[in-house]
Structure 1
Amino acid sequence: MVLRKSDLYGSLWKSCDELRGGMDASQYKDYILTLLFVKYVSDKAKTDPNTLIDVPRGGSFDDMLAAKGDKEIGDRLNKIIAKLAEANGLRNVIDQADFNDEEKLGKGKEMQDRLSKLVTIFNDLDFRGSRAEGDDLLGDAYEYLMRHFATESGKSKGQFYTPAEVSRILAKVVGINSRTRQDKTVYDPTCGSGSLLLKAASEAPRGMTIYGQEKDNATWALSKMNMILHGNEIADIAKGDTITNPQFVSGNHLRTFDFVVMNPPFSLKSWSNGLENDYGRFEYGRPPEKNGDYAFLLHALKSLKSVGKAAIILPHGVLFRGHAEATVRQRLLKQGFIKGIIGLPPNLFYGTGIPACIVILDKENAVARTGVFMIDASKGFMKDGNKNRLRSQDIHKIVDTFNKQLEVERYSRMVPLSEISDPKNDFNLNIPRYIDSSEPEDLQDLHAHLHGGIPDRDLDALGVYWDAFPSLRATLFKPNRPGYSDLTIDVSDVQQSVLDSDEFTKFAADVRSAVDDWFVTHRPILQAINEQTVPNELISRIADDLLARFKDTALLDEYDVYEQLMTYWHETMHDDVFLVMNDGWLDAAKPRKAIEDKERKLSETPDLVVGSGRGANKYKMDLIPPALVVARFFANEQAKVDELSLVADEAARAVEEYIEEHAVDDGLLADAMDDDKISKALVSARLKVAKHEGAEPEETQALQHLLGLYNYEAVTRKAAKDAQAALDAATLKKYGDLTLPEIKGLVLDDKWHATIAEGVASEVTGLTQNLVARIQQLGERYAETVDDLDAELRASEVLVSQHLAAMGVR
């Protein structure tokens, strides 16, 4: 069975469950990633004669498999990893984890069982057919693990990983793109696990020459492994403290690079401990002794070639703090080195919850630079557990806006240096000084409260809706007096009026038509998916075109439409593409037996069950869900099942209603109850007793009637069940008869196209609901004037006085 991304993730995280015990994530990650590394290079060596990693006899995953169940399994795994390390110059890289550590893995049988289960899980992962070059399945899995490890490691140990979404932004805004040559260099002075470097290099079509430095030994080892897993065996990853002991030097000068990307530790207090040579990094000012943010920024600047570019993640404090940092900031601005600043949402990073920013440095044309391009992207994110995460649309919007220097209200603008240097700003770069991203305040109108009517300024603020539906405003509102309008209909009828309007109907139809045209355009390349397809290129091509098609659509945000596609891609479509790439359309569409492994506690929820009891056969349909086959080929049979199910449900309701009416104290069914419960068996038993004892005819008739209802329910339920079983059997058989055109039609049209179109349609629905909610809010807010409320109060006072008088109270 082909290894899908979701399968891989599930297996890897299950292996973590087998291991964790008393260890925290920062410890057991070393074991998991080491096994992942050994498994991958062992599988690749079997199929790729040109692999740069030599897997020696006694140093492969197969040797690990042979150690399963051995009392000395921990020691044997250590020796196997040592042989692999020795053969490839990877000592102190892949052999960091001690598989014979009794404190972490348990003693005797506990260690033996735990490691044996772990090896078994990894044995199920088959990387021989992995197309890491085109899809980076393994790299994505590595990122998945790193993200989870960073999440569980907490603030103190999570800084080894930069979220992949942020890494992609840095890579794109720093200027690495499809035109970047392979001989260009990219450098990360604080590379952690290397993920940021790899994301940056992957933006170039043929990769780049990679350099990095990391001071933590275990994290440096992770980075070395990460490079190999991503096919960058020759990446130069040095070890040591970048500020006090930079490794990329030439004499008394730092080596320079085309691009620098970096996520340094925030506000490091000990940055200068042991600093002897500053390599000319502090020519624009020395950072404060207790804060190393500008030390890292100035290191990046000094490490750039004359036209080099850098993107650095830093806390917002670098934008506005005073004293020594203010001096450095002012000098850098005057030199024109700061090209842009991007404010990010809070709680994105694993080492800290504070919001951060990206500072983009660019030496090219620095002298001629007259402004700093700023983006406030702090509001674009989604919640993901206890962290925030950038969505695909957030990434794309940031990159588009920055690279095209687009000015967007409340989001981005080019801020002239003359404004930044103005005495009132004094070279302070705090983004809210220059971009007000707050939503306009919803002001109450006293005149409207006093005299009625909805303020026209509130209606004018809904201009994007009136642009999309030109006559709708006149339909919903009429003039009250200058500057104010009244609803022409009851506030409860607003939603239906909007939905019934010809303009809304046309708008929704046009949106659907645009999605249909987009899909028709790309259907040929989608139906041609094969083993040569590069999934990331495929989705990039079709997604960018969808974004472009909705760029000028009134009301709809093109990035919201884009997100609908990208969400579906990540959740479902990517796995579908991967299945087709590896198995082909015909084989990928075949049902398979659902996995049920009691020993390993693995059980898949089946998509289709044929038969019952122990003889039931459970199937998974990974590519084509049974509902799609039924909808296309068995609509009449499904309608019959639905009809029979409805009859059975009505029969069940009849039973419930009759019991509810008569199974009460002193009711006709009271004697058939046991502990306030009633059942068919109790009714049958009571009926026999009632007949024998000569009970009241009304009770006997009630019991007989209920028994008849029970029997009818059973008959209808069986008919529905039999019809469903026949439909399930026919559906399963149909999978074996599907032709290639039918398979492609089901996947492309009934699954992909329909789901994406439905998602985009939901955006239209959401926008309409927003409009309706706002109109209803305004209508209800100003429905009653002060005079109305005063009259109501007077009427209430009169009523109270009358009641008091009636009670003799004066």
Structure 2
Amino acid sequence: MSEEQKRLLQQQLWNIANTLRGKMNADEFRDYILGFIFYKYLSEKVETYANKALEPDNKVFAELDETKPEDKAYIDAIREEAVEDIGYFLKPSELFHVIAQKGNKKTDNYILVDLIGILKNIEQSTMGHDSADDFINLFEDIDLTSSKLGRSNTDKNALIARVLAHLDAIDFDLSNTETDVLGDAYEYLIGEFASGAGKKAGEFYTPQPVSTLLAKLVTCHRKKLRNVYDPTCGSGSLLLRVKREAESVGRIYGQELNRTTYNLARMNMILHDVHYSDFDIRQEDTLERPQHRDLRFDAIVANPPFSAQWSANPLFMNDERFSVYGKLAPASKADLAFVEHMIYQLSEEGTMAVVMPHGVLFRGSSEAHIRRHIIEKMNYLDAVIGLPSNIFYGTSIPTCILVLKKCRKHPDNILFIDASQHFEKVKTQNFLRSEDIERIVNAYAERKNIDKFAHVATLKEIEENDYNLNIPRYVDTFEKEEEIDIAAVAKELAALETDMAKTDATIAGFCKELGIDVPFAIEGDK
């Protein structure tokens, strides 16, 4: 599929999504359209799987009759294999195309009850199997009884049938294993929803350029990863970006607090063809109840909520994640608590890259104490990268990326990069371009001084600055103003005075001819 065809698919899906826009807010119609796309994907995947299994018998899955004993035997056999191999199962009568066609009929076209049952059956098909945790309550945000879909059941049915019919007409090209066409389209939709979601966007989506930058940083010196982890994974896009940048990733781990976003992350994994046994996404509060605390990760990436509140319960001073620092991050600013949590989960040879607000670089009190401990006692901070302002949805504040390693190749210095002035402005949003990302990653890899962009600061410099990491202390971006030639300026002013005097005399002559008063005093007049 060409790039133009990809863009066309993305636009088609966005147009279909807008079918629901007038009925509900962005958060709600996002959940419906992404859920239906996911249902279509699951349907086409199971149909492809079943047809391959039926090839030796010259059977087609969609044509099997569930009421006939012979066909039922085929269906039961495929069910058993499918749940083990791809994690779930759909009967021929439950396929997306079948339901979409029924909804498009002029009579006997009521599909809401069928659809509710099918979505529930997908989840139930996994019960008792290893994939159960990845599918349980996966469609709970698709409420087909909601009055926002229409006043009457007939209105609701007509709207949903129209959406399914539009989706049914699109070829997801799942047979093309060379490119992740549908995955790219799904990411596009999530990004489009995020751009219109305001402050809520940060809950589920990191802009793709930032995701790409984080992924490149943690894979810069290591392309084969045993695992990758995001403690605030949102829709999972950042984890998937690491998978794309790496040569191989053994297993993907994530944790997300918001229930709806957690469902979206699981859908995103499956839709990107990550096998259910290769990811483990959990729904819980990461700081209060970490779900993977016994594991250590080769790569950790995160974009935690900026300056979020947390309990800062004194009991956490007995938690190994925080006790070593001697003080807790303030209850009103959990930023460094997330950093501490990630350091604890990082493997000895691992790399973590986390987006933070600039305040973590210089704020005092307990944050200053923690910052100093990470640098002076642990010596884990590898780089500080300043990003442009206004590159995240819902906030315009400038941000930075902290890169940390436990076994640093350059333990006597910390690299500072100021990329705050390198971006493209599109309407009201700033974006990192591919060349901006490349410049940052190259500077990180080469680790040398670059005028007005990067500085390798010794630990002595950091100490002399009292462990204040504010980037302008280390990267001088001051642009010297061009020297002014005072004599030349004076000469120009004198010439202007002469020209003005001539002009005034000309105007005065015109006024005399017209018999009117001169509107200004002429030099030498009394």
TM-score, with length taken from structure 1: 0.54
- The 3 A distance-change label for structure 1 pair 207 and 60 is farther
1:347-369 per-residue CA deviation (whole Å, 9 max, x = no partner) reads 11124221211100011137x61
Structure 1 CA distance, aligned partners of 2:357 and 2:297?
24
- Where 1:21 maps in the other structure, the secondary structure is helix
Which amino acid in 1 is paired with 2:340?
L
Alignment of 1:571-610 (within 5 A): none
> Pick from 335, 344, 358: which aligns with 1:293?
335
- The 3 A distance-change label for structure 1 pair 77 and 67 is farther
Which amino acid in 1 is paired with 2:8?
D
Question: What is the deviation of 1:139?
Answer: 1.6
Which amino acid in 2 is paired with 1:135?
T
1:683-741 per-residue CA deviation (whole Å, 9 max, x = no partner) reads xxxxxxxxxxxxxxxxxxxxxxxxxxxxxxxxxxxxxxxxxxxxxxxxxxxxxxxxxxx
Structure 2 CA distance, aligned partners of 1:165 and 1:344?
11
Q: Which residue of 1 aligns with 2:153?
A: 108
Question: What is the deviation of 1:288?
Answer: 1.3
> Pick from 67, 85, 96: which aligns with 1:61?
96
- Where 1:198 maps in the other structure, the secondary structure is helix
Question: What is the deviation of 1:281?
Answer: 2.5
> Pick from 385, 388, 412: which aligns with 1:345?
388
> Pick from 400, 405, 416: which aligns with 1:362?
405
Question: What is the deviation of 1:300?
Answer: 0.6
Q: Which residue of 2 aligns with 1:21?
A: 22
1:613-667 per-residue CA deviation (whole Å, 9 max, x = no partner) reads xxxxxxxxxxxxxxxxxxxxxxxxxxxxxxxxxxxxxxxxxxxxxxxxxxxxxxx
Structure 2 CA distance, aligned partners of 1:67 and 1:796?
85
Q: Which residue of 2 aligns with 1:682?
A: none
Q: Which residue of 2 aligns with 1:172?
A: 216
Q: Which residue of 1 aligns with 2:9?
A: 8
Question: What is the deviation of 1:176?
Answer: 5.2
Matched, 1:125 2:170: yes
Structure of greater Rg: 1
- Where 1:449 maps in the other structure, the secondary structure is helix
Alignment of 1:269-668 (within 5 A): 269-272=309-312, 278-284=319-325, 285-334=327-376, 335-365=378-408, 369-422=411-464, 425-451=465-491
Question: What is the deviation of 1:273?
Answer: 6.5
Matched, 1:256 2:256: no
- The 3 A distance-change label for structure 1 pair 794 and 349 is closer
- The 3 A distance-change label for structure 1 pair 176 and 274 is farther
Equivalenced residue count is 467
Question: What is the deviation of 1:795?
Answer: 3.3
Question: What is the deviation of 1:794?
Answer: 4.0
- Where 1:99 maps in the other structure, the secondary structure is coil
Which amino acid in 1 is paired with 2:170?
L
Structure 2 CA distance, aligned partners of 1:65 and 1:156?
32
Question: What is the deviation of 1:801?
Answer: 6.5
> Pick from 785, 788, 791: which aligns with 2:495?
788
Question: What is the deviation of 1:787?
Answer: 3.0
Structure 2 CA distance, aligned partners of 1:333 and 1:448?
53
Question: What is the deviation of 1:275?
Answer: 6.7
- The 3 A distance-change label for structure 1 pair 52 and 274 is farther
Q: Which residue of 2 aligns with 1:525?
A: none
For the 8 Å contact 1:196–1:261, the answer to whether it is kept is yes
Which amino acid in 1 is paired with 2:44?
D
Which amino acid in 2 is paired with 1:257?
F
Alignment of 1:126-145 (within 5 A): 126-131=171-176, 133-145=177-189
TM-score, with length taken from structure 2: 0.82
Alignment of 1:749-764 (within 5 A): none
Which amino acid in 1 is paired with 2:388?
P
Structure 1 CA distance, aligned partners of 2:238 and 2:498?
68
- The 3 A distance-change label for structure 1 pair 105 and 282 is farther
Q: Which residue of 1 aligns with 2:291?
A: 247
- The 3 A distance-change label for structure 1 pair 415 and 113 is same
For the 8 Å contact 1:266–1:315, the answer to whether it is kept is yes
- The 3 A distance-change label for structure 1 pair 797 and 123 is closer
Q: Which residue of 2 aligns with 1:457?
A: none
Structure 2 CA distance, aligned partners of 1:33 and 1:803?
76
Which amino acid in 1 is paired with 2:462?
I
- Which residues of structure 1 form unaligned runs of 5+? 452-784
For the 8 Å contact 2:9–2:185, the answer to whether it is kept is yes
1:529-569 per-residue CA deviation (whole Å, 9 max, x = no partner) reads xxxxxxxxxxxxxxxxxxxxxxxxxxxxxxxxxxxxxxxxx
For the 8 Å contact 2:233–2:254, the answer to whether it is kept is yes
Alignment of 1:210-229 (within 5 A): 210-229=252-271
Which amino acid in 1 is paired with 2:238?
L
Question: What is the deviation of 1:181?
Answer: 2.6
RMSD: 2.6
1:411-434 per-residue CA deviation (whole Å, 9 max, x = no partner) reads 111122212211xx2211111122
Q: Which residue of 2 aligns with 1:34?
A: 35
Structure 2 CA distance, aligned partners of 1:7 and 1:438?
45
For the 8 Å contact 1:308–1:362, the answer to whether it is kept is yes
